[in-house]
A and B are shown apart, each in its own frame.
Chain A
Amino acid sequence: MDKGTVRKHIKYRYIIQLFFAAVTNSYVTGFAAGKIYQGNLKLLCHPGLNCYSCPGAVLSCPIGALQAVIGSRAFSFSAYVFGTILVFGALMGRAVCGFLCPFGLIQEGLYKIPFPKKINRFRGDRPLRRLKYVMLLLLVVILPMTINNAAGNATPYFCKLVCPAGTLEGGVPLVLLSRSGGTALSAGGFEGLSGLSESIVRPGVINVPTTGYQIGLLFWWKFSILAAVILLSIINYRPFCKYLCPLGALYGMLNPVALYRLRLDGDACIHCGKCSKACKMALDPVRETNHSECVRCGDCVKVCPTGALDMGFGDGKLTKLNETRHHNAATARAGGKERQ
């Protein structure tokens, strides 16, 4: 592929992201009235992380749905949600994160805010990324599967203790809308992190309240996580996706086999290192093509001077990379930097 003929879907990725986020959060009445969509479309899972308690959401959040089914009295495993994630993951891998996830879009928007020094490569970055697998196993699967209340239902621990998408898309608008509707909130709240046992006894889902929401320690805990993610997103590209997102962990595992993939023409690669420098997920796209952390943002494809990198469905035209040449070129670049 010649330089300058970068595929249109990569070029217009932001428009695709915006369009998908708008369509899947198109229940305008919800924003106006401070309530959520209750139609049958919510049988379907959104491919990305999009809280189903967002006033505009018309689809279900796959991570919320997964915890709901695993934590329900009737089931201990969700074939439906795992199957849905498997299909999306096998088709697109983490391109879902790059193209279809509304919370990814929000983080990308924040990263565009100017800051003196953006930090995407630092010591401990790679080990820290394993944290999202802990989130997935512990908070999304193991705890909802094992800790039930008297009625046999479990708390969605990831949603409750961590998820900043729920706070931003659901919590903040609903609390603000309940206030603007003239329903004052009592300060102090009824429950915080210390009130975990109370929420296990009390089912965690109720209808839209008519008297406003009480906000307490739990809300401020989750709000602090959201604030931290927002601030970090200005400095670091997609910190939530890198370090915390359990959905990203699932799609990441499917990334190496996904149909939509990064393609490298090893013969055309001149080992200039521009793709590696451009990668905000701190990868070397040439050596780590289709790595579990690649969200298919396409920045590497855009900067490649020879068109050696491309992205699309299937393998396309592929030739193997000369590893020795690439390694030598990378070493020479590193040496040059040190001399400077």
Chain B
Amino acid sequence: MLRKRAWAGLMVIGAALVIVGVARGETVVVLQKAIRICLECIGIG
């Protein structure tokens, strides 16, 4: 029972965080990073 509550709580917190992140405009940073080649990621820069 406790585990089920923990699971439900985590789902709610996770979904709330996603909504907060989108509202804060974090997705813009994610997109800006992801659509350009990340030189660090590939070991060039």
A interface, CB within 8 angstroms of B: 35-40, 42-43, 45, 51-53, 60-61, 64-65, 68-69, 72, 74-75, 78-87, 89-91, 155-156, 159-160, 163, 166-167, 170-171, 174-175, 191, 199, 202, 204-208, 213-216, 218-219, 221-223, 254, 256-259
Contact = CB atoms under 8 A, between A and B. Distances in A.
A64 B38 contact: yes
Nearest to B2: A257
A205 to B, nearest CB: 5
A218 B43 CA distance: 6
A307 B7 CA distance: 26
B37 A208 contact: yes
A250 to B, nearest CB: 12
17 contacts: A74-B29, A78-B26, A79-B17, A83-B13, A83-B16, A166-B40, A167-B42, A174-B42, A191-B45, A199-B45, A202-B45, A204-B39, A205-B32, A205-B33, A213-B44, A223-B43, A257-B7
A155 B38 CA distance: 10
Interface of B: 3, 6-7, 10-11, 13-22, 24-27, 29-45
Nearest to A84: B18
A171 B19 CA distance: 33
Given A52-B33, A64-B33, A89 B44 contact: no
A68 B30 CA distance: 7
B34 A84 contact: no
Given A65-B34, A90-B10, A202-B45, A79 B40 contact: no
A207 B43 contact: no
A87 B11 contact: yes
A166 B43 contact: yes
A257 B35 contact: no
A166 B43 CA distance: 8
A213 to B, nearest CB: 5
B2 to A, nearest CB: 9
Contact of B29 (A68, A87, A215): A68
B17 to A, nearest CB: 3
Contact of B39 (A81, A89, A205, A221): A205
Nearest to A79: B21
B23 to A, nearest CB: 9
B17 A171 contact: no
Contacts of A80: 17-18, 20-22, 24, 26-27, 30
A210 to B, nearest CB: 12
